[in-house]
Amino acid sequence: MRTIDWVDDGIELIDQTLLPERCETLRLETVDGLIGAIRRLSVRGAPALGVAGALGVALAVATERDPADAITRLRAARPTAVNLAWGVDEAARHVAEGFPAVLRRALAIRDDDIAACRSMGEYGTALLTGLLGEDGTGIRIMTVCNTGGLAAVERGTALGVVQTLHERGRLAEALALETRPLLQGARLTAWELGRMGAPYRMIVDSAGPFLLARGHADAVLIGADRIAANGDTANKVGSYALALGARRAGVPFVVVAPETTVDMATPSGAEIAIEDRPAEEVVTLRELRLAPHDAGAINPAFDVTPHDLITAIVTDRRIVRLDRAETLASVPPGPRAAMPS
């Protein structure tokens, strides 16, 4: 199952706002429709946003009188995830060559994301095997937000590693944070873990650090929406708390994201723009009011985990051991890992 694709001159994607109750495909034939879907999180996740951005440029060239304006608005739809802007820019380089060239580049980005996710699964599994050994009891993973196939085209990033572990009989259990305020962990990650038949349990966000201290997980895996040049990582809010808990408990904390999420033009996490989303996401839940009508909220969609709390960054082309003083600059990207036949 693909999260997003180009079908019959339009974009089709799984509407993630309807899960887990309904799995429905949303068809988009205008750039404004795509921008709306991105902003309301019908499509989300850094790799999926990169593909959406590239396909959106193809849609703009095919349907808009002024594709340049539409492309600019699409690029700015969500500021923190670097992949959206990257996907837009990559496809936009071919606008002068015409629609067929733009679509070819967008579809190449789609296909490349599928290959990247498979490679991250291999690299991540190799890293965890090296860090934790093979004692035959299986590995217990804690994760936040949703980083599976719904966040990419297929398989995903951090949850893609979990899937690879499960397929090889190496996963003992996945502990998925519910991920307030929009419950991407409870609604999406649990749905994906159930579909793959993996053993899992849900936990509330605030229980994560305590359960790490009590030895309930062997490693924490998260995705990323932007990785700065020094390794500071922006991800769904709640990641920083898990990193602090993991450090205290002596548990590896691993970031899994494609090379396209690495932003060497951003020196550190201090320069990452953090999206501030509407208060309604906090004070309501699917139109059910949770707080008094006069209650406001601070609602950062992401937080930034400092690089010194991260054990390693896994991409589709390398493993960077920050705990060994390696850096993104000192470890160059290599070949993708091949899945065993």
Annotated catalytic residues are 225
Cα angle for residues 27, 40, 241 (degrees, 5° grid): 130
Question: Which token pair is 291?
Answer: 């707080």
Q: What is each CA distance from 97 to 11, 75, 112, 211, in whole angstroms? A: 21, 20, 21, 54
Q: What type of residue sits at position 168?
A: R
- Per DSSP, the three-state class of 65 is coil
For 333, the token pair is 């990207």
CA–CA dist 243, 255 (Å, integer): 10
Half-sphere exposure of 271 (CA within 13 A, CB side): 12
What is the identity of the amino acid at 264? Answer: M
CB 223 within 8 A of CB 232: no
